[in-house]
Amino acid sequence: MSPMTVPREATHFGPAYGADGRRCLSMSAEEQVRTAFLPRVRFSWGFHDGVDAEEEGRRLEWQPRDHHDPIYAAGYSSGMSAYRRYGRCPESSDEDWAIHALTTDMVRDESTGDAKP
């Protein structure tokens, strides 16, 4: 197998790979993430990355409004805020996710899995 092929069963991005195991270039990496993972998962990733950044004193090199995934960016901002609020790493992002989902009046877009306000 060449370095450019990936066995279909070795990836959770199954639809982004052809039957021969070669990566299809029809979807960007950002599109693959948005379609493969539910908004709750992407928010959680951002949340924990934001907590880590705040804990380590790292500053953003990007603006949340400019991030390709607004749900990840919302989680990131929430994670930073939660760390400042509690002064430590929260046990989970559940509370912040619930607030985000309620305040954005999220309705799931069935075609992408993204939330629509």
Full DSSP string of 26-91: SS-HHHHHHHHS-HHHHHHHHHHHHHHHHHHT---SS-GGGSS-HHHHHHHHHHHHHHHHHSS--S
47 alpha carbon, distance to own chain's centre: 9
Q: pLDDT of 28-77, one tens digit each?
A: 666 666 667 888 999 999 999 999 999 999 988 888 788 888 899 999 99
Q: Are both 94 and 44 inside the same structural domain?
A: yes
| Structural element, H or E, at residue 100 | helix 94-103
Q: Is the domain of 30 the same as that of 42? A: no
Quote the number of domains for the chain. Answer: 2
Residue 5 has a pLDDT of 41
Q: Do 3 and 30 reside in the same domain of the chain? A: yes
CB distance 49 to 76 below 8 Å: yes
- CA-to-CA distance for 40 and 102, rounded, in angstroms? 13
Instruction: List the domain range (segments joined by +) for residue 84.
Output: 38-116
Are residue 29 and residue 83 in the same domain, yes or no?
A: no
Same domain as 66, residue 93: yes
